[in-house]
Amino acid sequence: MNPSTFDTIKTTVQVTSVVLSWAINLFLIYLIVKKSNKKMGNYRHLMVFFCFCSICFSTMDVIIRPIIHSHKSAFFMMMDLRNRAIPVHVANAMVCVMAGCFGVIIYGIAIHFIFRYFALERHGRVKYFDKHLLLFWLTIPLLGGVIWTLVTLLLFPMSSTSSEYLR
């Protein structure tokens, strides 16, 4: 496939995906806030939080337009800076923040499943998600995202070794 054709298809898919992500997640937030039963309690807040995180991740994806590449035992997320007026250090930070957004999503899914497990278990452990404890649970994905960002920024920086490996 011609590289310009691939880039056009990739950009079209990414833009379409972010538009769908915004539309579906905003509609879901509307349904959760306006139409869901109040008995759902803090589960509603967890779902809105997850929708918001998904919107942020899809927006980062369309801005960064990452290129994911794997070779042997290595996995790379890169950003094509050709025809873009973004300094290399800013692009590096953006890719690291996107990795952090991915971490937030992963931790968010885990918290979501913990809540659902407690709810299905019916031993009263859902109380661990009440009031001020909910804020604690919501900070776990955010802290995880910060950690993922810092790990990628500090432990996996761009280097001549990684650049040579990619060549």
Burial of 151 (0-12, 13-18, 19+ CB in 10 A): middle
| Per-residue confidence (pLDDT) for residue 74, from 0 to 100 | 77
| Per-residue confidence (pLDDT) for residue 7, from 0 to 100 | 83
| Per-residue confidence (pLDDT) for residue 157, from 0 to 100 | 79
| Per-residue confidence (pLDDT) for residue 94, from 0 to 100 | 92
- pLDDT for 118-145, tens place per residue? 999 988 888 999 888 999 999 999 999 9
Write down the domain spans for the chain: 3-166
| Per-residue confidence (pLDDT) for residue 73, from 0 to 100 | 80
Ranges of the chain whose pLDDT falls below 70: none
- pLDDT for 29-43, tens place per residue? 999 999 998 888 889
Phi-psi region at 79: left, alpha or beta (left = phi > 0; alpha = psi -120 to 50): beta
Read off φ and ψ for residue 74, nearest 5 degrees.
Answer: -105, 150
DSSP-derived secondary structure for 80-137: --TT----HHHHHHHHHHHHHHHHHHHHHHHHHHHHHHHHHHTSSGGGGGSHHHHHHH
Full-model pTM: 0.84
The radius of gyration computed from the CA coordinates of the chain, to the nearest angstrom, equals 19
